[in-house]
Chains A and B, each alone.
Chain A
């Protein structure tokens, strides 16, 4: 048994079950998760008013931010709190989500929450998730079903929201028309080949030999997926600035191929640098700091099988991010 951790939500498609306390079996031996009453994996209850004497950071992202694989206390959000005195970090991380759903989470759950800095942590792979319209899920009878997710398209340069609210019920994948079926998030490219290679235990060798580029969408500024990502970030940061006028940090989180040097990060680094300049946001790229560790240490930033950050990975991200946040926070 593992507990069902998520419930339907009309805005983001799902969220953690409010008040959830669970231990998730994992190759690490298992990890503890606790969700607050808003359905986010955060030890803080989200309060609009300031906690006296505390500075506050709002943090959005996917499972790398929510902390799949480690207990709440070992995530980079909590490590940041130990590195930055008198600072609380509200973690809005939502596993499996794209930047689109994270933006919707900001709209739905963060309004009116007084804060000092907003951090948008974009796992670089999120560029693929924002193009998807459905996600896969295994139901309680072990059958694979898909659920709709909200998504944006660009219509005349503006974002148009679809699947809002998303269908509550599971959908049989084979009942979808071909165009929709192509928009099911399958967790990466080349699904069949990937499965075969993974099963043979050849993943890392094949990736190294082929110079595998996990996120080619960043290759060109005119790539439609990047255009969509850029539009989401633009609308989000503009809305944040209009409402709160607080510093914004965009942090592209690299994949392990980038950290371990088997894939080039140049393309996505360039794209995020451009967008940061255009939007007037701080872009914190942790990759140079992460690459400073020895290759042995870098390998410890992820689990043997699971690619999510280990405690060591989270600690390294926090250590890299802390000085940037510290510069933007007000004096105590």
Chain B
């Protein structure tokens, strides 16, 4: 009997929905892509609507609707924390209690209001937060059995979970519980360095290569008690999140000699070194935990999820350490992926459905291209209705030739083709593309297209067969979740004298070519790699292949199709708007090419740089 399950994550950050039929992922999407509010935590009514659309199923025919964490258990944590900490935790308790009691407890009402039904089960089922992360990591992976490691800020109680998946069953072996949390430690440092919690962690990771791990020992001496097996205890008196609404407190600030950096102020050597230090500590914890997990489970494969699994530098170190033979990371590793995990765990555990077979090394995540698509008919309906000029090129080869030639000429391309990605990375469906050989690409993309900090690196999408020509990496990296060095012979010497002597101007480093593909080579000669196969994303592969044919270079610069603070685009409308607000040259919407110089002036009286809250 076929089973269709809807998974929902909501009310913390990055709400999302996913739908699974008989263990096959049909669709998944984050609410922010539809609501256009970054990290939107609200009930994901648009994402649910899309999932039902893709599955083409009446909501009343859903076999189960599953929420990604247990609100009662979460409330229990908040309550017990309040009782332990006392009156100082009142603000935090009030906020958490109103979120729990105001939203989560009334899940059935939310769903009924949005869908008009609770499906065949007649009630919303709830799963455990870390179990949904574990499920999102294991079930879509290509492994029949694997060790499971999930690490994030906090779920109900668990912040780090070690487990094992075999067949269609998952077992959690041990957990570290709140308030001890690697995710919260990283977020505390993110906050201290002046970046936004729950979104700025990525920037901190990008900043790390500019610094030295000078504060690593101070972190280990003062903030965390790290044990040989990777387990840890935070020294909670240094953190503000137990009894307040901020991540750090005066004791934390005292360890590092001053108050947090003000957001948007100049980044100094101190932040670079702090970023490098927390990154080093994180990598050490991940490696120790992985060694312990290998020993405990005897498994050859490891799967990862939870927000910490988005730390692709740590993932790269884990891969390079060869603790496990194979590694697979859920591309929607954060809370959004909990929706997928919730649907999968209900399918495999509650309904005891077997896992779908998979072909060879291929996983079951479908390249994470499991969001909405807007086909050529829909694209043209939009462009025609708005009266925007475009050129339709139905011949794939001809179209790829035109686009690849534009990139080779130094043009920046908006690319909205196929089903949207699930997860925070653009993987060649909603991407901005450029020429990695061009030394100006990084600064042009950062300053004229993305309007973001110039230190942030860009990632390469490389043909899978050219991966080892460019990078020192032992495996494929389909989801841009592994960082590895650019091959030595491609690296170019950099003049770091001034910078190492204490000049904080990162631009003096950034503007130097670091390899023959400078736009994707970070200052430590690393790159965040996406390997592309002909099967994973055929049009994207064809484009890179054509670019290789024209230039000899088998890769493109790939960054997410958005501006700073804006969710990645979803629809042709979003794409056109973002395209016209930036200095991109060409927009590709399925088989339609939209050249900027042919477009009418956009009647846009919105002060859009203020529309999106800075991330």
| Chain A interface residues toward B at CB < 8 A | 1-4, 6-8, 17-23, 25, 28-30, 32, 34, 71, 139-141, 168-170
Given known A30-B52, A30-B115, contact A3–B570 (CB-CB < 8 A): no
Q: Number of residue pairs across A and B with beta carbons under 8 Å? A: 76
In this complex, what residue of A is CB-closest to B384? Answer: A8
Q: Which of B53-61, B97-105, B394-402, B509-517 contacts A (4 or more CB under 8 A)?
A: B53-61
Chain B residues lying within 8 Å of A28, measured Cβ to Cβ, are 116
The reply to whether B378 and A168 form a contact with Cβ atoms under 8 Å apart is no
Question: A7 — which chain B residues lie within 8 A by C-beta?
Answer: 377, 380-381, 384-385
Mark each residue of chain B from 369 to 386: 1 if its CB lies under 8 Å from any CB of chain A, else 0: 000101101101110111
Q: Does A29 lie within 8 Å of B46, measured CB to CB?
A: no
CB atoms of A19 and B377 under 8 A apart: yes
* A20 surroundings in chain B (CB, below 8 A): 377-378
A77 to B222, CA, bound (A): 72
Q: Does B579 contact A (CB under 8 A)?
A: no
Q: Which one, A18, A23, A71, A170, contacts B49 given CB within 8 A?
A: A23
A36 to chain B, nearest CB (A): 12
- Nearest CB of A to B63, in Å: 17
Q: Any chain A CB within 8 A of the CB of B347?
A: no
In the assembled complex, B34 has its CB within 8 A of some CB on chain A: yes
Given that A21-B53, A29-B114, A71-B58 are contacting pairs, would A8 and B381 also be in contact in the complex, using a CB cutoff of 8 Å? yes
Chain A nearest CB: distance from B378 CB in Å? 6
- In the complex, whether B117 has a CB less than 8 A from a CB of chain A is yes
Q: Does B357 contact A (CB under 8 A)?
A: no
Chain B, residue nearest A30 (CB): B49
Whether A29 lies near B59 (C-beta < 8 A) is yes
Q: Which residue of chain A lies nearest to B574 when distances are taken between CB atoms in the complex?
A: A1
Pairs of residues from A and B, 4 with the lowest C-beta to C-beta distance, nearest first: A29-B116, A7-B381, A23-B53, A1-B34
The docked-state distance in angstroms from the alpha carbon of A102 to that of B115 is: 32
In the complex, the answer to whether B378 meets A3 with C-beta atoms within 8 Å is: yes
Most B CB contacts (10 A, CB to CB) among A2, A3, A25 go to: A3
Minimum distance in angstroms from A16 CB to a CB of chain B: 10
- The smallest C-beta distance from B49 to any residue of chain A, in angstroms, reads 5
The answer to whether residues A23 and B116 also contact, given A4-B381, A17-B378, A32-B56 and a CB cut-off of 8 A, is: no
Which chain B residues lie closer than 8 Å to A2 at the CB level? 49
* B573 proximal to A (CB < 8 A): yes
Structural contact, B380 and A169, CB atoms closer than 8 A:
no
**Is B45 an interface residue, CB under 8 A from the partner?**
yes
Does B239 make an interface contact (CB < 8 A)? no
In the assembled complex, the CB of A111 is this many whole angstroms from the nearest CB of chain B, namely 23
With contacts A21-B56, A32-B56 known, is A140 near B377, CB below 8 A?
no
B50 at the interface (CB under 8 A from A): yes
Nearest CB on B from A176, distance (A): 18
Question: Is the C-beta of B534 less than 8 angstroms from some C-beta in chain A?
Answer: no
Docked complex Cα distance between A25 and B34 (Å): 13
Q: Check if A29 sits within 8 Å of B385, measured CB to CB.
A: no
CB distance from A77 to the nearest CB of B (A): 18
- Evaluate whether A1 and B570 lie within 8 angstroms (CB atoms) in the complex, with A29-B59, A30-B115 already known: yes
**Chain A: minimal CB distance from B259 (Å):** 42
A32 to B53, CA, bound (A): 7
Pair A23/B52 contact, Cβ less than 8 Å: yes
Interface membership of B4, Cβ < 8 A? no
Bound: A20/B375 CA distance, A? 9
Chain B residues near A139 (CB-CB < 8 A) = 385-386
- Which listed residue (B45, B53, B375, B382) contacts A19, Cβ 8 A? B375
The CA-CA distance from A23 to B45 in the complex, in Å, is 12
Q: Contact: A17 with B381, CB < 8 Å? A: yes
Using CB atoms and an 8 Å cutoff, list the residues of chain B in contact with chain A: 33-34, 45-46, 49-50, 52-53, 56-59, 114-117, 372, 374-375, 377-378, 380-382, 384-387, 570-571, 573, 603-604
Q: Cβ of B384 and Cβ of A140 under 8 Å apart?
A: no
A30 CA to B45 CA, complexed, in Å? 10
**A310 smallest CB distance to B (angstroms):** 11
Q: In the complex, what residues of A have CB within 8 A of residue B573's CB?
A: 4, 140
Chain A's closest residue to B570 (CB) is A1
A-B contact pairs, 11 of them (CB 8 A): A2-B49, A3-B571, A4-B385, A6-B381, A17-B377, A19-B375, A23-B53, A30-B52, A30-B115, A30-B116, A141-B604
Which residues from chain A contact B45 at a C-beta distance below 8 Å?
25
In the complex, chain A residues whose CB is within 8 Å of the CB of B377? 7, 17-20
Within the complex, the shortest CB–CB distance from A28 to chain B, in Å, comes to 5
Identity of the chain B residue whose Cβ is nearest the Cβ of A2 in the assembled complex: B49
Complex-state Cα separation, A170 to B603, whole angstroms: 14
Q: How far is the CB of B135 from chain A (nearest CB, A)?
A: 26
Candidates A1, A3, A170; contact of B385 at CB < 8 Å: A170
Query: How close is A159's CB to chain B, nearest CB, in angstroms?
Result: 28
Contacts of A32 in B (CB 8 A): 52-53, 56-58
Q: Which interface residue of B45, B58, B381, B570 has the most chain A CB atoms within 10 A? A: B381
Residue ID in chain B nearest A34 by CB atoms: B56
Check A1–B571 contact: CB distance below 8 A.
yes
**In the complex, which residues of chain A have a beta carbon less than 8 angstroms from the beta carbon of B604?**
141
CA distance A17 to B378 in the complex (A): 7
Chain A positions within 8 Å of B117 at CB level = 29
Q: How far is the CA of A30 from the CA of B50 in the complex (A)?
A: 11
Q: Determine how close the nearest CB of chain B comes to the CB of A135; give it in whole angstroms.
A: 13
**Chain A residues positioned under 8 Å from B381 (CB to CB):** 4, 6-8, 17
CB distance from A291 to the nearest CB of B (A): 28
A140 touches B382 (CB 8 A): yes
Least distance between B127 CB and chain A CB atoms (Å): 23
Contact partners of B57 in chain A: CB under 8 A: 32
Q: Once the chains bind, are B49 and A4 in contact (CB under 8 Å)? A: no
Q: CA of A3 to CA of B386 in the docked complex: distance in angstroms?
A: 15
CB distance from A43 to the nearest CB of B (A): 11
Closest A residue by C-beta to B111: A29
Distance in angstroms from A187 CB to nearest chain B CB is: 20
- Chain A, residue nearest B576 (CB): A140
Among A4, A19, A30, point to the contact of B59 (Cβ < 8 A). A30
A3 to B49, CA, bound (A): 11
Query: In the assembled complex, which residues on chain B have CB atoms less than 8 Å from the CB atom of A21?
Result: 53, 56
Q: Once the chains are docked, how many angstroms separate the CA of A30 from the CA of B48? A: 10
Contacts of A4 in B (CB 8 A): 378, 381-382, 385, 573
Q: A7-B385, A20-B378, A170-B385 are in contact. List 16 more A-B contacts (CB 8 A).
A: A1-B33, A1-B372, A3-B53, A3-B571, A4-B381, A8-B385, A19-B375, A30-B52, A30-B116, A32-B52, A32-B56, A32-B58, A139-B386, A140-B386, A141-B604, A168-B384
A224 → B minimal CB distance (Å) = 32
Q: Which A residues lie within 8 Å of B570 (CB)?
A: 1
Shortest CB distance B24–A (Å): 18
Minimum C-beta distance from B34 to chain A (A): 4
Interface centre among A2, A6, A17, A23 (most CB of B within 10 A): A23
- State whether A25 and B378 are in contact (beta carbons under 8 Å apart), knowing that A32-B58, A140-B573, A170-B385 are contacts in the complex: no
A25-B49 CB under 8 A given contacts A1-B34, A8-B381, A19-B375: yes
Q: Which of B46, B52, B387 contacts A169 (CB 8 A)?
A: B387
Give the CA-CA distance A4 to B49 in the complex, in Å.
14
- In the complex, A3→B374 CA distance in Å? 9
Chain A: CB-nearest residue to B380: A7
Distance (whole angstroms) from the CB of B538 to the closest CB of chain A: 20
Q: Chain A residues near B375 (CB, 8 Å)? A: 19
Contacts of A30 in B (CB 8 A): 49, 52, 59, 115-116
Bound-complex Cα distance A195 to B366 (A): 48
Residues of chain A lying within 8 A (CB to CB) of residue B115: 29-30
